[in-house]
Amino acid sequence: MMNNFKRKALLASLLASIPFSPPLIFSASTAFTSSVLMFSFAERVHANRRADFYFERAYQKSNKDDFSGALADYDRAIEIDPNEDVYFFNRALIKEEFEDYLGAISDYSKAIELNNNDSDSYNNRGLLKSSELGDDSGAIADYTKAIKINSKDDLAYYNRALSKDNLGDYSGAMLDYTKSIKLKPNPEAYNNRGFIKANELGDDSGAIADYTKAIEINPNYFLAYTNRGASKSTLEDYSGALTDFAKAIEIDPNNAYSYFERAYSKSESGDHYGAISDYSKSIKIDPTDSVAYNNRGNSKASLDNISGAIADFTKAIEIDPENAFAYYNRAENKGILGDMDGACEDWRKASALGDEDAAEFVKEDCKRN
């Protein structure tokens, strides 16, 4: 029986944004000799003082989570003085709180228009382009601009690496994670670089070194323990893998991913009863995980519980009708029960989804079905 288990690993996808800018203290020290200029300057100082009052109050309200009040005050400050980039920057952050991402992007763009040397506005606008609009190319352009302004901006390198990763530019992402680490070591960058080493380059030993570094920086980083366990499992260090998974679960017992990876490791080592138990725990936490149902079905099939396996594959398909693995596996188990019509129907579906082995079954074994 050639049951298809499916593996997954997690990237730390938290994007780092720049926080609120605090109020600034303005001073008027320039003297003018022209009475006309003196009049204009007096008007500007008066306007700035009023705008600064609303800006200061908005900042204090935001610190108390009164975002509606803060938004109203930032609106008022901008109405009085629409030429201060920091007003738009802070209002953008408030708009993010209300999930008005297009409005926030508009405000970051206005802040950039007023001050095109502000790397923070480029970084935050890039973040929203990537995380909310799915525009990683546009995000990379913004991060690159931020880096050009401030070559020591570790957050911009980190965020650019994530966008490059999303676009499949793994070598570029590796370089940016490395640059971010050199500027300011952080566990997420080590974890994500390790992820690429393990899942794209096949370098699980190098990945383990990065996950270990992430854990040294943050001993409670469950994701690094889980990913390190997955790499140890790939290298058939099942004992070490189980130790890491246990630690991850101790840190966060409500994370389905750690149970999933421990289950996968147990199945690889032949402990299908243990795998079923952990897949069940993973499913209890996240009942929408099609892959967990597929893999639990495979473990049940390995223990000759064919009807139970078919039930799990069916559930996996209900959750994700594009899960070719589940169609293939259900076909194989239907065939074991003698239901070749049902098996061929599933193999055809798996073949249509791109499964080459299923296509061979359709070609060779489903001519009459």
Amino acid identity at 356? E
Dihedral angle over CA of 240, 244, 246, 247, nearest 10: 140
- Average pLDDT rounded to a whole number, residues 313-335: 96
b/e for 9-30, b at 16 or more Cβ within 10 A? bbbbeebbbbeebebeeeeeee
- The secondary structure of 210-240 as a DSSP string is HHHHHHHH-TT-HHHHHHHHHHHHHTT-HHH
pLDDT at 109 over 50: yes
pLDDT at 10 over 90: no
Amino acid 368: pLDDT: 67
Nearest-angstrom CA–CA distance, 294 and 310: 9
At 312, which helix (H) or strand (E)?
Answer: helix 306-319
18 vs 190, which has greater pLDDT? Answer: 190
Nearest-angstrom CA–CA distance, 276 and 267: 8
Amino acid 367: pLDDT: 76
Nearest to 298 by CA among 275, 323, 319: 275
If one counts every other C-beta atom within 10 angstroms of the C-beta of residue 297, the result is: 30
Amino acid 30: pLDDT: 27
pLDDT at 54 over 50: yes
Q: Where are the domains of the chain?
A: 36-115
pLDDT digits (tens, 9 = 90+) for 252-261: 999 999 999 9
Amino acid 18: pLDDT: 52
| Neighbouring residues of 278: CB distance < 8 A, sequence distance ≥ 6 | 259, 260, 262, 263, 266
In this structure, are residues 266 and 303 in contact, taking their beta carbons and an 8 Å threshold? no
| Neighbouring residues of 332: CB distance < 8 A, sequence distance ≥ 6 | 1, 2, 3, 301, 343
Nearest-angstrom CA–CA distance, 149 and 136: 20
Nearest-angstrom CA–CA distance, 129 and 121: 12
pLDDT at 141 over 80: yes
Upper half-sphere CA count for residue 269 (Cβ side, 13 Å): 23
Upper half-sphere CA count for residue 360 (Cβ side, 13 Å): 4
Amino acid 316: pLDDT: 97
pLDDT band at 23 (very low <50, low <70, confident <90, very high): very low
Nearest-angstrom CA–CA distance, 290 and 286: 10
Return the CATH class of domain 36-115.
mainly alpha
pLDDT at 5 over 70: no
Rounded to whole angstroms, the maximal C-alpha distance in the chain is 100
Amino acid 37: pLDDT: 35
Amino acid 26: pLDDT: 28
Q: Tell the residue number behind the tokens 């108390």, with chain if given.
A: 64
Amino acid 365: pLDDT: 85
pLDDT band at 48 (very low <50, low <70, confident <90, very high): confident
pLDDT at 25 over 60: no
pLDDT at 144 over 80: yes
